[in-house]
């Protein structure tokens, strides 16, 4: 098993992608669902943009967390009052801690919850429930946090309205049809096309490279020249790669919930990403690297047409 390098933006930060955010949502559901939100503490007013602090508090505080889910790379936390929408940006993390302190250098928001008491959980002197504090840490501050009141149509929200379909919520057939139709007449490279969130969400650089390898399609080919049959294979490859990454806990996560572990495993076997000059697992030729729009693209010149 080859251990790939973690995905970073070149400056040492990992970038949370769809699989990592999905794993985070699942972990939060397990740990937090049903817990009463007791506080939201802001240690600064803005991340990528100003955070509407009153709106966020009004949406969460005083009610149990009844739903936690993911849309694209956004994490959504819902109570009966409203829904908070959080994006980890390029370097964000959520850490689950026992207290509001210690506060790390780049901790910007702390969500306090009183977990539902269970006989298995350690008991505190606060009535049988245990407090949990979710620390939102983001050194580069590309993260985002906002909230909307209950009843808001999220699909019309500015952060969501232009997003394409969720690749794992539709059939391979439907995804293939969508990509094929949307790409007719387009000269943009197919890799850039599938990485465009308006076409389909969640296909980051690693997953685009790996999906195109599995589908045998060169990343630089014009999206409009990829056939319907090829989009069929590509759609299934995208689903396979993302599902495998979710199963492996995400390819690039170090610690998303607990500071002490839950290491995002690097167990996903990558075929081309980060393997420049190494041997292609299919044909034993060299894996090649190109740069597209300032992003590294990896492929096998023999296996991908
Ligand atoms: Zn090859």
Known active-site residue 16: yes
Average pLDDT score, the chain: 87
CA atoms within 13 A on the CB side of 161: 5
Could you say which of 29, 116, 141, 295 is catalytic?
295
* Burial (Cβ within 10 Å: 0-12, 13-18, ≥19) of residue 48: middle
Residue 7 pLDDT grade (very low, low, confident, very high; cuts 50, 70, 90): very low
Domain architecture of the chain: domains with CATH = 33-154 (3.20.190.10), 172-250+267-300 (1.10.8.50)
Could you say which of 4, 16, 19, 219 is catalytic?
16
| Å from CA of 268 to ligand 1 middle | 19
For 232-261, the pLDDT digits (tens) are 999 999 999 999 988 887 654 444 554 433
Known active-site residue 289: no
Known active-site residue 295: yes
Known active-site residue 17: yes
For 169-228, the pLDDT digits (tens) are 999 999 999 999 999 999 999 999 999 999 999 999 999 999 999 999 999 999 999 999
| Choice among 66-70, 139-143, 188-192, 262-266 with the minimum mean pLDDT | 262-266
pLDDT at residue 247, as a whole number: 85
Distances from the Cα of 132 to the Cα of 100, 110, 121, 212, angstroms:
8, 10, 12, 42
Distances from the Cα of 4 to the Cα of 203, 211, 243, 300, angstroms:
18, 16, 18, 17
**pLDDT surpasses 60 at 94:** yes
Decide: 242 and 184 in contact? Cβ < 8 Å: no
Question: pLDDT > 90: what percent of the chain?
Answer: 70
| Of 292 and 232, the one with more pLDDT | 232
Could you say which of 57, 70, 71, 73 is catalytic?
73
| Å from CA of 281 to ligand 1 middle | 6
| Of 304 and 116, the one with more pLDDT | 304
| Å from CA of 186 to ligand 1 middle | 27
For 224-233, the pLDDT digits (tens) are 999 999 999 9
| Å from CA of 288 to ligand 1 middle | 10
| Å from CA of 286 to ligand 1 middle | 7
């Amino acid at each position: 098993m080859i251990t790939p390098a973690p995905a970073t933006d070149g400056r040492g930060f990992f970038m949370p992608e769809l699989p990592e955010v999905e794993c985070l949502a699942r972990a939060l559901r397990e740990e937090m669902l049903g817990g009463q939100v007791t506080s939201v503490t802001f240690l600064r007013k803005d991340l990528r943009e100003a955070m509407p602090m009153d709106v966020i508090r009004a949406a969460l505080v005083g009610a149990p967390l009844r739903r936690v889910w993911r849309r694209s790379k956004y994490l959504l936390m819902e109570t009966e009052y409203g829904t908070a929408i959080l994006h980890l940006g390029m370097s964000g993390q959520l850490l689950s801690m026992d207290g509001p302190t210690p506060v790390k250098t780049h901790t910007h928001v702390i969500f306090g919850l009183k977990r539902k008491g269970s006989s298995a959980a350690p008991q505190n002197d606060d009535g049988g429930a245990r407090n949990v504090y979710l620390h939102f840490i983001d050194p580069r501050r590309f993260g985002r946090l906002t909230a909307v009141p209950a009843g808001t149509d999220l699909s019309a929200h500015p952060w969501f309205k232009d997003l394409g379909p969720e690749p794992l919520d539709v059939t391979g057939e439907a995804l293939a049809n969508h990509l094929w139709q949307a790409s007719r007449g387009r000269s943009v490279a197919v890799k850039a096309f599938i990485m465009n969130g308006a076409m389909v969400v969640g296909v980051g650089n690693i997953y685009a490279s790996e999906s195109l390898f599995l589908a045998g399609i060169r990343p630089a080919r014009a999206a409009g020249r990829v056939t319907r049959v090829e989009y069929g294979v590509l759609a299934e490859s995208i689903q396979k790669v993302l599902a495998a990454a979710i199963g492996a806990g995400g390819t690039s996560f170090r610690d998303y919930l607990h500071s002490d572990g839950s290491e995002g495993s690097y167990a996903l076997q990558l075929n081309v990403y980060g393997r420049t000059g190494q041997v292609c697992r299919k044909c034993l030729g060299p894996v090649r690297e190109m740069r597209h729009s300032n992003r590294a693209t990896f492929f096998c010149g023999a296996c991908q047409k």
